[in-house]
């Protein structure tokens, strides 16, 4: 068993939409996104709305068909799978959703939902299903009597636990967590983060953790990718990237994220301006319009993802003096 | 940690549902056992009491042959309830099924269904049904067929819209992500969540079917004599309106009460389903 | 010490639903000084939004508001609608979480600002036009004059929130009530809006009550903080004091559960359980069931306000048992 589980390369996806002038236009949600994910590893994807991070999540689990690029899962090309193999892929890569209210079928008890997931993939003989459900409830720290209840009987945090239990019911290797704590209150967020850390340690899960909240991504991830307008603009070890960000957007994002330090009240705003329209992208670097370090060539030619060191890369000319791109590492 | 129970409002039965189901239950009993409820044989002629006004002996009066109006109305319940159920049950099943599949799969079938809906909606419903009966010939069976041919479209439209909404919710995405097949997603997940408005509309539709059945009965295109049917009863009295109003008025009231019962029950069911969410 | 602009005493707000009464705000007191930014922080259902709505007189029967709401020393609670109208909108303005639904979609932004100016000032039509441009400029909308004739849907979320603030500023309010104004926005835009509100408060000497669930937003923008839990203000303090040495177990729990300054991938301290729901009957401290510092005295009687430092109030009876200061994050 190799350690490398998921290898995504050059993923692109466009949506047809209407521009401000009413003309039909192409919205480029993903513009060549590449990353790898190992077993037992958490890759955090951080970005604001319009960065394409949710499209990325849905493309990886094939809820959305990407336009181009490849998704290799455990050595096979996931985009070519069909029939039984596709169903197996779906089982092994599970998504947990943002909204704990709409992501559960309101007319099914917890037991029914879990039993269905176990049953469809024939993961346990019928006699052992109840035992497995008890196990799953333990795993996500819900009381056993929860099994007979309906989603409406639970609070947001508990529903999110049910969503996680349902994903785990099919014994996945990989979780795609799309903003799973964003809808929750602060004191509940910490509970779910802890649960995710614990589950990962116990089940050796690979986790793609997608969030707009830097503080949480920094805490939970081994490595991170920072997305801006459909591209990964910086990637590297979580601590490195957050302690010493190289891309001006990453720097702005970190400066803008509220800390608990009242001493920062007097500072200036972290970055001016707003996101350019994703249907009318600038010719050069997509961050150029807001960047304080902008140079002439930034406006005409988009920079490639340039290596900062062996594990880090940033899509910025400021990092140019470093080695050539080495983002896509060869799998062993 | 315990399961916090979200404030679950006691599922108190609301007045509309109580009244509605009470009316429908009484109608059902009458329809099943009219011989025990009706004071007279509805077909018995009594030439000593023709066109008798309401009295203690004949609460709703008698018609030109001396038949007891109350008894005829009660017996007619059986026919009208039959019309309500038989002419709609087919459209509900077929329409829901088609609408559900079209809503889930979309594509060319969706375009066809939408155009069909446009066509059917443009025609007045009654005229369309009369047209079909004109081809098939009068009678109850043909009435069911005629209504069914048109009515399913409305259920298909409703089911399609509901499935479109449900299909976009995350639990539907989760089901796909768990590798469930389309049949399971459609019938076990989406449909049970989409069925509420369909059932509610069905109740209203049954009231409409009774109205339609009565209209056609009045025109002589529905139930054929000697069957007693509310619309036909009204037609019986149309020549005596000035002298014996009770022949037309009481069957009319029966239609109103039945319609009321169905709409109240429909509202009540809708309310109940909303509260269960 | 200057006189307070707003003083709220014993505010109690009840909603009625399905024949049952829910206490959203359960007897709170607080003040807002001139030019001060007060953060009202709490989780969903803590009563922070209901507090704002009560101040503005937006609670309609069968909802009920009790207590005194002193505006420049005058009780505005229970004022006739016309008298209240002169205060609301003119002296107190409000902005909302979702500017898309708070703005009228069929009117241009310029029309909406001019409408507000017409209602609250004596400016002539041409002055209103000029002032509208000034206001858009003031809230940092680039090329303000050219955006006046745009409709809200033509704006991005951040610009919409700025436009919303411009409309609120039209009447030169002395107090701005901001209900989660940045929750729907992205981090970089949230930062811009917070900085804008701070700048406006300072430049216009305008007071602000900033309602938020994000302690980070409070730390970075407010002068004073009131923490709400289950309908009560459990702790009030100057922002520096609160973030250094919280004196309520709930505040402490919230601060500790933030993933800030923790070693990566270690379990975060968390508050077990979930807050009580409106309508739950409580005996003793509302937080007792989830509290790590709970003592016997916490389980009975209604907690009373205690002064634990300069301008620092808490309801916590175990304040002395809490750690003296938090490690700086």
- Over residues A305-325, the pLDDT tens digits come to 988 888 899 999 988 754 444
What's the confidence (pLDDT) of residue A324? 44
Are A105 and B189 a contacting pair at CB < 8 A?
yes
In a domain, B198, yes or no: yes
Cβ within 8 Å, pair A142-B192: no
Predicted local distance difference test score (pLDDT) of residue C220: 92
Backbone angles phi, psi at B198, to 5 degrees: -70, -45
Q: Which residues pair with C12 in a beta bridge?
A: C26, C66
Q: B3 to chain C: which residues are within 8 Å by CB?
A: none
Q: In sequence order, which residues have a C-beta less than 8 Å from that of residue B243 and are 6 or more positions away?
A: B51
Which pLDDT value is given to residue A332? Answer: 35
Task: Give domain status of residue B55, yes or no.
Answer: no
pLDDT exceeds 90 at position B254:
yes
What is the per-residue pLDDT for B3?
45
Q: Is B220 left (phi over 0), alpha (psi -120 to 50) or beta?
A: left
Between A244-258, B188-202, C275-289, the lowest mean confidence (pLDDT) is in C275-289
Which residue range(s) make up the domain with B211?
A: 15-35+60-276
What's the pLDDT score for residue A225? 97
Q: Which residues are paired to C208 by β-bridges?
A: C37, C176
Over 60: is that where the pLDDT of C116 sits?
yes
B180: CB partners within 8 A, 6+ apart: A116, A120, B189
Find all residues with CB under 8 Å of C78, minimum gap 6, and list them: none
CA–CA separation, C65 and C50 (whole Å): 10
**CB contact, 8 Å: C309 with chain B?**
no
H-helix segments, B106-244: 108-122, 125-136, 140-167, 170-177, 182-184, 191-218, 230-237
Q: How far is B1 from chain C (nearest CA, A)?
A: 6
Residue B276: the pLDDT is 65
Q: How confident is the model at residue A263 (pLDDT cuts 50, 70, 90)?
A: confident
State the average pLDDT over residues B200-217: 90
DSSP secondary structure code for residue A311 in this structure: S
Strand residue runs (E) in A204-331: 206-211, 223-228, 231-237, 306-307, 313-314
From chain B residues 178-207, the ones with a CB under 8 A of any chain A CB are 178-181, 184, 188-189, 192-193
Quick one: average pLDDT of C225-235?
96
CATH code where residue B159 lies: 1.10.3720.10
Residues of C in contact with B9 (CB under 8 A): 18
Maximum distance among all Cα pairs of chain B, rounded to whole angstroms: 81
Question: Which residue out of C141, C274, C326 would a mutagenesis test of the A interface target, given it has the greatest number of A Cβ atoms within 10 Å?
Answer: C274
| Max CA distance (Å), chain A | 69
Chains in touch with C (≥3 Cβ pairs < 8 A): A, B
Optimal mutation site among B3, B7, B11, interface C, most CBs of chain C within 10 A: B7
Classify C311 in phi/psi space as left (phi over 0), alpha (psi -120 to 50) or beta: left
The nearest CA of chain A is from the CA of B37 a distance in Å of 41
- 3-state class of C170 per DSSP? coil
CB contacts, 8 Å: A116 with chain B = 180, 184, 188
Task: Decide if pLDDT at A217 tops 90.
Answer: yes
Q: Chain C partners of B6 at a C-beta cutoff of 8 Å? A: 277
Is residue B8 pLDDT above 60, yes or no? no
Interface of C with A in 189-208 (CB under 8 A): 189-192, 194-195, 198
Q: Is B2 in Cβ contact with A120 (below 8 Å)?
A: no
What is the helix (H) or strand (E) element at residue C161, kind and residue range? helix C157-169
CB contact under 8 A, A262 and C156: no
Residue B9's pLDDT band (cuts 50, 70, 90): very low
The shortest CB-CB distance from A87 to any of B1, B2, B179 is to: B179
Inter-chain contacts counted by CB atoms under 8 A, chains A and B: 82
Query: Quick one: which H or E segment has residue C29?
Result: strand C20-32
- Which residue of A lies nearest to C220 if distances are taken between CA atoms? A265
Checking if the pLDDT of A330 tops 60, the result is: no
Instruction: Establish if B259 belongs to a structural domain.
Output: yes
Would you say B188 and A121 are in contact if contact means Cβ atoms under 8 Å apart? no
Q: How confident is the model at residue C142 (pLDDT cuts 50, 70, 90)?
A: confident
When mean pLDDT is compared across A10-24, A43-57, B115-129, B146-160, the lowest value belongs to A10-24
Residues C227-232, mean pLDDT to the nearest whole number:
95
> What is the rounded distance in angstroms from the CA atom of residue A235 to the CA atom of residue B84?
66
Contact between C277 and B1 using a beta-carbon 8 Å cutoff: no
CA torsion sign for C109, C111, C113, C116 is negative
CB atoms B7 and C277 under 8 Å:
yes
Q: What pLDDT, in 10s, does the model give residues A179-206?
A: 999 888 888 899 999 999 999 999 999 9
B133 SS3 class: helix
ipTM: 0.86
Contact B5, B243 (CB under 8 A): no
**Interface chains of chain A (3 or more CB pairs under 8 Å):** B, C
Query: Do the beta carbons of residue B114 and residue B96 sit within 8 Å?
Result: no
Given B2, B4, B177, which is nearest A94 (Cβ)? B177
Distance from CA of B172 to the nearest CA of C (A): 25
Put simply, whether C83 touches A (Cβ < 8 Å) is no
Domain assignment present for residue B8? The answer is no
B241 DSSP assignment: T
- Give the side-chain half-sphere CA count within 13 A for C63: 15
Q: Is B4 on the interface with C (CB under 8 A)?
A: yes
Q: Considering the domain boundaries, does residue B69 fall inside one?
A: yes
Sign of dihedral through CA atoms C152, C156, C158, C159?
negative
For residue A264, what is the nearest residue in chain C, using CA coordinates? C220
Peptide bond before residue C43 is cis, with ω within 30 degrees of 0: no
The alpha-carbon radius of gyration of chain C (Å, integer) is 21
* B11 in A contact zone (CB under 8 Å): no
Average per-residue pLDDT for chain A: 90
CA distances from residue C306 to A39, C235, C319 in whole angstroms, order as listed: 52, 9, 9
Name the DSSP letter for residue B47. T
CB C327 within 8 A of CB C258: no
Residue A328, pLDDT above cutoff 70: no
pLDDT of residue A1: 57
pLDDT digit string, tens, across residues B75-86: 999 999 999 999
pLDDT-based confidence at residue C41 (cuts at 50, 70, 90): very high
Mean pLDDT to the nearest integer, A73-101: 92
Q: Give CA–CA dist B195/B187, Å, rounded.
A: 10
The alpha-carbon gap from A151 to the nearest alpha carbon of chain C, in Å, equals: 16
Residue A268 pLDDT: 86
Strands (E), A106-194: 174-178
Please write the tens of the pLDDT for every residue from A1-38.
578 999 999 999 999 887 666 778 888 999 999 999 99
Alpha-carbon span B38 to C259, nearest angstrom = 77
B114, exposed or middle or buried, with CB in 10 Å at 0-12, 13-18, 19+? Answer: middle
Q: Indicate yes or no: CB of B178 within 8 angstroms of CB of A154.
A: no
Q: Mean pLDDT over residues A277-293, rounded? A: 88
Averaged pLDDT score across all residues of chain B: 88
- Burial (0-12, 13-18, 19+ Cβ within 10 Å), A24: exposed
CA gap A249, A315 in Å, rounded = 10
pLDDT of residue C267: 92
Give the range among A21-25, C148-152, C155-159 with minimum mean pLDDT: A21-25
Q: Residues of B with CB below 8 A from A146's CB?
A: 3
Q: Which two tokens stand for residue C140?
A: 């940092």
Convert the pLDDT of each residue in C26-39 to its tens digit.
999 999 999 999 99
Query: What's the whole-number average pLDDT of chain C?
Result: 90
Is C291's pLDDT higher than 60? yes
Per residue in A156-179, pLDDT (tens digit) is: 999 999 999 999 999 999 999 999
Q: Report the 3 state secondary structure along B56-119.
A: CCCCCCECCCCCEHHHHHHHHHHHHHHHHHHHHHHHHHHHHHHHHHHHHHCCHHHHHHHHHHHH
User: Inter-axis angle of helices C125-138 and C109-120, to 10 degrees?
Assistant: 120
- Which residues on C lie below 8 Å from A49 (Cβ)? 157, 186
Contact flag B7-C273 (C-beta cutoff 8 Å): no
List residues bridging with A42 in a β-sheet: A207
DSSP character at residue C88: B
Chain B contact for C279 (CB, 8 A cutoff): yes
Give a yes or no: residue B112 inside a domain.
yes
Which of A42, A51, A186, A245 to mutate to probe the C interface, most C CBs <10 Å? A186
Give the relative orientation of helices B69-105 and B140-167 as an angle to the nearest 10 degrees.
40
Which tokens go with A264?
């920062």
Distance from CA of C54 to the nearest CA of B (A): 24
- Going by pLDDT thresholds of 50, 70 and 90, the confidence category of residue A208 is very high
Confidence of residue B56 (pLDDT cuts 50, 70, 90): confident
Q: What tokens were used for A251?
A: 């720097």
User: Do the chains contact at C220 and A189, CB–CB below 8 Å?
Assistant: no
Task: Name all domains of chain A by residue range, CATH numbers in brackets.
Answer: 81-172 (3.40.50.300)
List CB contacts (< 8 A) between C45 and chain B. Answer: none
Residue-level pLDDT at B236? 86
Residue C2 has pLDDT above 60, yes or no: no
Q: Is B169 on the interface with A (CB under 8 A)?
A: yes
- Beta-carbon separation of C262 and A252 below 8 A: no
**CB contact (8 A) between residue C18 and residue B9:** yes
- Asked if A260 lies within 8 A of C243 by C-beta distance, the reply is yes
CA distance B153 to chain A (A): 27
Residues facing C210 on adjacent strands: C39, C178
Residue A149 CA to residue B74 CA, distance in Å, equals 46
Residue count (chain B): 277
- The CA–CA distances, whole Å, from C14 to A55, C22, C45, C53, C284 equal 43, 5, 13, 12, 20
């Amino acid at each position: 068993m190799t350690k490398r589980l998921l290898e995504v390369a050059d993923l692109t996806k466009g949506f047809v939409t209407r521009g401000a002038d009413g003309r039909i236009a192409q919205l480029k949600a993903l513009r060549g996104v590449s990353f790898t994910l190992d077993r037992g590893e958490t890759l955090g994807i951080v970005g604001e709305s319009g960065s394409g991070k949710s499209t990325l999540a849905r493309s990886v689990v094939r809820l959305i068909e990407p336009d181009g690029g490849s998704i290799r899962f455990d050595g096979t090309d996931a985009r070519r799978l069909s029939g039984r193999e596709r169903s197996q892929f779906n089982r092994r890569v599970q998504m947990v959703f943002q909204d704990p209210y709409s992501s559960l079928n309101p007319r099914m008890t917890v037991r029914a939902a879990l039993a269905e997931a176990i049953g469809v993939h024939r993961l346990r003989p019928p006699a052992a299903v109840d035992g497995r459900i008890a196990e799953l409830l333990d795993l996500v720290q819900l009381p056993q009597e929860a099994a007979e209840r309906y989603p409406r009987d639970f609070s947001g945090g508990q529903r999110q636990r049910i969503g996680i239990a349902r994903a785990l019911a099919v014994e996945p290797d990989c979780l795609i967590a799309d903003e799973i704590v964003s809808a929750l209150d602060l004191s509940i967020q910490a509970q779910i983060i802890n649960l995710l850390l614990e589950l990962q340690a116990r089940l050796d899960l690979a986790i793609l953790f997608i969030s707009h909240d830097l503080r949480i991504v920094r805490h939970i991830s081994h490595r991170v990718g920072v997305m801006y307008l459909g591209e990964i603009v910086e990637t590297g070890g979580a601590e490195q990237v957050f302690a010493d960000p190289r891309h001006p957007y990453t720097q702005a994002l970190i400066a803008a994220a509220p800390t608990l330090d009242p001493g920062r009240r007097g500072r200036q705003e972290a970055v001016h301006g707003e996101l350019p329209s994703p249907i009318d992208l600038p010719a050069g670097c997509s961050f150029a319009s807001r960047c304080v370090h902008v140079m002439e060539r930034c406006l005409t030619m988009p920079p490639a993802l340039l290596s900062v060191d062996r594990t880090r890369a940033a899509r910025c000319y400021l990092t140019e003096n470093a080695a050539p791109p080495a983002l896509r590492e060869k799998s062993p | 940690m315990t399961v916090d129970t979200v404030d679950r409002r006691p599922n108190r039965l609301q007045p509309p549902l109580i009244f509605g189901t009470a009316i429908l239950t009484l109608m059902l009993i009458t329809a099943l056992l009219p011989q025990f409820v009706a004071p007279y044989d509805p077909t018995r002629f009594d030439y000593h009491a023709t066109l008798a006004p309401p009295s203690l002996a004949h609460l709703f009066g008698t018609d030109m042959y001396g038949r007891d109006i109350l008894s005829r109305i009660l017996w007619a319940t059986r026919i009208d309830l039959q019309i309500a159920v038989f002419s709609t049950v087919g459209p509900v099943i077929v329409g829901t099924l088609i609408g559900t599949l079209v809503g889930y799969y979309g594509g060319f079938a969706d375009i066809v269904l939408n155009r069909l809906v446009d066509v059917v909606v443009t025609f007045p419903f009654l005229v369309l049904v009369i047209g079909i009966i004109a081809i098939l010939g009068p009678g109850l069976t043909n009435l069911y067929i005629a209504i069914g041919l048109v009515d399913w479209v409305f259920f298909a439209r409703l089911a399609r819209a509901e499935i479109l909404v449900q299909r976009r919710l995350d639990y539907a995405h989760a089901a796909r992500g768990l590798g469930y097949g389309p049949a399971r997603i459609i019938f076990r997940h989406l449909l049970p969540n989409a069925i509420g408005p369909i059932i509610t509309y069905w109740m209203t539709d049954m009231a409409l079917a009774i109205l339609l059945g009565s209209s056609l009965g009045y025109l002589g295109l529905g139930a054929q004599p000697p069957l007693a049917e509310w619309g036909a009863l009204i037609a019986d009295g149309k020549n005596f309106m000035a002298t014996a109003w009770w022949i037309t008025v009481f069957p009319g009231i029966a239609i109103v009460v039945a319609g009321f019962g169905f709409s109240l029950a429909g509202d009540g069911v809708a309310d109940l389903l909303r509260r269960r969410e | 010490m200057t006189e307070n602009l707003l003083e709220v005493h014993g505010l109690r707000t009840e909603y009625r639903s399905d024949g049952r009464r829910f206490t959203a705000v359960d007897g709170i007191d607080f003040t807002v000084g001139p030019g001060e930014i007060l953060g009202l922080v709490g989780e969903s259902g803590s009563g922070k939004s209901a507090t704002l709505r009560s101040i503005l007189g937006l609670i309609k029967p069968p909802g009920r508001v009790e207590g005194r709401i002193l505006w420049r020393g005058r009780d505005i609670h229970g004022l006739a609608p016309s008298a209240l109208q002169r205060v609301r909108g003119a002296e107190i303005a409000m902005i909302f979480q979702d500017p898309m639904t708070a703005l009228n979609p069929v009117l241009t932004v310029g029309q909406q600002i001019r409408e507000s100016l017409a209602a609250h000032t004596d400016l002539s039509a041409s002055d209103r036009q000029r002032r509208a441009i000034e206001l858009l400029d003031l809230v940092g909308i680039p090329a303000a004059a050219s955006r006046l004739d745009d409709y809200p849907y033509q704006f991005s979320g951040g610009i919409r929130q700025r436009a919303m603030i411009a409309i609120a500023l039209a009447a030169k309010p002395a107090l701005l009530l901001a209900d989660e104004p940045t929750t729907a926005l992205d981090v970089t835009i949230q930062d811009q809006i917070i900085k804008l509100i701070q700048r406006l408060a300072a430049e216009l000497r305008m007071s602000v009550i900033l309602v938020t669930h994000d302690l980070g937003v409070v730390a970075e923008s407010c002068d004073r903080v009131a923490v709400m839990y289950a309908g009560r203000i459990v702790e009030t303090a100057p922002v520096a004091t609160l973030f250094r040495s919280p004196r309520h177990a709930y505040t402490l729990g919230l601060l500790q559960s933030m993933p800030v300054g923790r070693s990566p991938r270690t379990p975060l301290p968390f508050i077990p359980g979930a807050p009580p729901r409106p309508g739950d009957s409580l005996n003793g401290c509302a937080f007792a069931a989830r509290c790590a510092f709970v003592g016997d005295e916490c389980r009975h009687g209604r907690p009373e306000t205690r002064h634990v430092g300069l301008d620092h109030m808490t309801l916590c009876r175990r304040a002395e048992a809490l750690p003296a200061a938090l490690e700086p994050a």
